[in-house]
Structure 1
């Protein structure tokens, strides 16, 4: 266990639950659609395809989801959503703005102890205002030396982040729940990584990790970081 390493944390679904709320909205939306032919799995496949495309041009977060729900209505019904349908979608999605962020069990104690041993940084993607609201609501900001909100977490983002914060990749660790955004691009940028799976990780963040990659530490829960750092 070495001291004075740089631990870079993901936020959503690593430090607090987030996607579980989005999934509730999606489940309610699919029920609300009440499609006469397609079942929930088929409807979800259509929505996932729309979200994949919208994420490229509109980023991540609640605004992108609401846009995707409206686009889904238009595709399935062959016309733009009506004013009443848009109002229904807005009502379903209202919880995304109002829900209270709560750190995952053990997050506060874990960060407090790690901050005395290492330099902690936060790197999260999404809409700036939305992500900042969640950071502020979580109460975890004081544990981090720096916080960045970026539109995408790819290899270029990590290389820039490493350079701008003076991180020696050999002493840097990206900690998160998403193989696609947290683990693989960080590894390609030369960082080590800690993968902490979350049962509610967004399906579009799933991908396979190399089980033989010695640069990836796999843990079951956030507090287990204290056993290694």
Structure 2
């Protein structure tokens, strides 16, 4: 029997919570690192540089493939020991472009779990990133009918969560954020006064890593390792 009564509002993340996402970026990065043909830098140093460039790109371009492509090209330009030609830039763009061609791969038991949860609770998809890209992935996933609303936001921070709560007239003590990212899904949701469920994913993007915050009194933070286990909670 579920631990929490019917009538909860579940804000549910998309990438690496409902479907695979970061593994495709990691494959593109591996191809990029091999193409760089670096002798001066180790793979670890290349990745550290790329992480820094991605942080810069996010501030200028937000999230999504455009930002990622910009990051790869900028990183290549900083580390390459040879002139960077337009042909090389096109090759790098192809690594990022391969991500767009990926089929949506749902994580195990997502559809049946959403079917079950939607019978007892209000489900709202809450994801960040490029609006067109995220909307396209949702459409291709065929999961949209499970959600009463969809929030595609530029960033997940406490003010954004507060705005979603106000916009949908939610009650914080019965509202939960469910996702794989400590930095975006868990910590800011707790800071906004919501409950949270951290769904561990082994390939969570390194820029989303953070130490989990401690919930305040009367707040719940629950850690799970499989989406299907949400039915045991809710």
**TM-score bracket for the superposition, by shorter chain length:** over 0.9
Consecutive unaligned residues of structure 1, counting only runs of 5 or more, are none
| Matched position secondary structure for 2:211 | coil
1:120 matched residue in structure 2: 123
Shift of 1:81: 3.4
1:145 matched residue in structure 2: 148
Matched, 1:71 2:74: yes
Structure 1's consecutive aligned runs of 4 or more residues displaced over 4 angstroms after TM superposition are: 211-214
Within-5 A mapping of 1:1-229? 1-77=4-80, 81-210=84-213, 215-229=220-234
Give the alignment's Cα RMSD to 1 decimal. 1.4
Shift of 1:145: 0.1
Quick check: 141-150 or 78-87, which moved more? 78-87
CA contact (8 A) 2:197 2:221 kept: yes
Determine the C-alpha separation between the residues in 2 that align with 1:203 and 1:20. Answer: 12
Deviation by residue 1:74-131 (Cα, 9 ceiling, x = unmatched): 2113888321111111222221111011211100000001000000000111111111
Kindly tell me the number of residue pairs found equivalent between the two proteins: 229
Consecutive unaligned residues of structure 2, counting only runs of 5 or more, are none
Determine the C-alpha separation between the residues in 2 that align with 1:97 and 1:203. Answer: 20
Q: 1:124 and 1:115, CA in 2 relative to 1: closer, same or farther beyond 3 A? A: same
| Matched position secondary structure for 2:90 | helix
Instruction: Compute the TM-score of the two structures, normalised by the length of structure 2.
Output: 0.94
